[in-house]
Amino acid sequence: MIKDTNINYSIKRHIEEHVKECIKQYQCVVLTGPRQVGKSTLIESILPSIGNYKIVKLDSTELINYAKTDPIAFFNEYQPPVFIDEVQKAPELFNYIKELIDKHKQKSMFILTGSESFELIKGVGDTLSTRAALIDLQSLSISEINGRANFVFEPDYNKFLLRKCKQKTQLEIFKDIINGSMPDVINGSKTNLDTFYKTYIKSTLFKDIREDVLNISNFEDFLNFLSLMASLVGETLNYTSIARKVGVTPLTIKKWISALKATGVIFFINPYSNNALTRTIRSPKMYFWDTGLACYLTKFDDPDFLLKSDFAGHIFECYAISEIAKGYLNAGKMLNMFYIKTIDPNNNKNNNTNFENHKNGEIDLIIEGKGGILYPIEIKMNMTPQFKYFENIKLLSSIKNKKIAPMTLICSVPSSQTLGPNKLVLPVYWL
């Protein structure tokens, strides 16, 4: 790890208040997320303040078999209110949880945590869909790491000024990007990034996805696929091209990518859709939740080398968008995040199948807020903001049924500033 002695290692998770509210209001709360992002730690830290819960950790073969083979005896011993950790290891429990909820009809009966997987999603969706609050926890945000309040993005200059963030150089920003946001790395308990991510990929990601997607059996094939995906952050995906490079079928690639999304490794931003928009790309763009994992997979371990690489702009965009997304998740708000990329009709080759070769206009991120207001955001790694970065707001000019907010530029400037009316510039580390 590239150490930063200014980091506050007593980290409070911003989603905590939202979790507490849901526990009070729902019969069951399901906290999901990738492995090792702190789900169990979060629940255990708040249990003393919310009630006398039994704690069951499905971390032994004996206890898992007990839950799977005799759920009635299991719940006779562990009656609600109960916290069950890693519940996806015993999906047989879901029907019995439903029966207990329907029988007693009480709030705060069950708290369940589990790493995102097809079994967990299926179990919650099939049996607990109207009875449980589903909450997604991701790795640490910039605000959590630095001990600041959660930030739900709004282009408000006065709110930005209230954050009073310590200035960071561009090199320090890229050092943070390489370090990533996994709690064990940030709190210093795992200091060797290579060892941490190598172990995480082989012992955690590969194991989870191999269990969910039966035709992944070779670790090297999986690592090659994962590395290729990391190199494509911020791009629309061509399944045929990825399949050809990995040596499998496009259908297999779709299954593998679905597994990455289900396990919380990647997420997608969909294109903004409006009848007034024509000649726009319709495919989603892909990002990693943890930039540290993406940097490890693309073999970037030096911030200066990363900063000067062709990958720098892509990973900087990934960093900014994932942080904005975490701010919304931690506040319990929906991710109404989109992008726009237009197709140049004069360079429309291969029947629109290879969009990345086109010379297009683009807005990196659009957030749809209350009342349908659209917040356009441009993301550049540059330290010097330029007027041309605001020009693509004209792509929204044809939309007449929505209010369009001024465009915000997120970049590497040392402090928030304006370039004139309706041109707000925000440092990425203020998110």
Residues 349-387 have pLDDT tens digits of: 444 433 343 346 889 999 998 888 899 999 999 988 888
Q: How large is the average pLDDT for residues 131-137? A: 89
- CA-based radius of gyration for the chain: 22
**DSSP SS3 for 115:** strand
DSSP annotation of 354 reads: -
Mean of per-residue pLDDT scores for the chain = 85
Q: How large is the average pLDDT for residues 82-98? A: 91
The answer for residues whose C-beta is within 8 angstroms of residue 386's C-beta and 6 or more apart is none
Q: How confident is the model at residue 321, as a pLDDT?
A: 97
How confident is residue 10, by pLDDT bands cut at 50, 70 and 90?
low
**DSSP SS3 for 3:** coil
What are the backbone angles phi and psi of residue 232, rounded to the nearest 5°?
-105, 15
Q: Is the pTM of this model over 0.75?
A: yes
**Torsion over CA: 202, 13, 150, 18 (sign):** positive
70 CB-side CA count, 13 A: 8
Integer Cα distance of 142 and 175 in angstroms:
13
DSSP annotation of 273 reads: -
> Of the ranges 81-95, 392-406, 412-426, which is most confident?
81-95
DSSP annotation of 407 reads: E
Task: Identify the weakest region by mean pLDDT among 55-64, 128-137, 230-239, 322-331.
Answer: 128-137
What are the backbone angles phi and psi of residue 97, rounded to the nearest 5°?
-60, -45
pLDDT tens figures, 53-67: 999 999 899 999 999
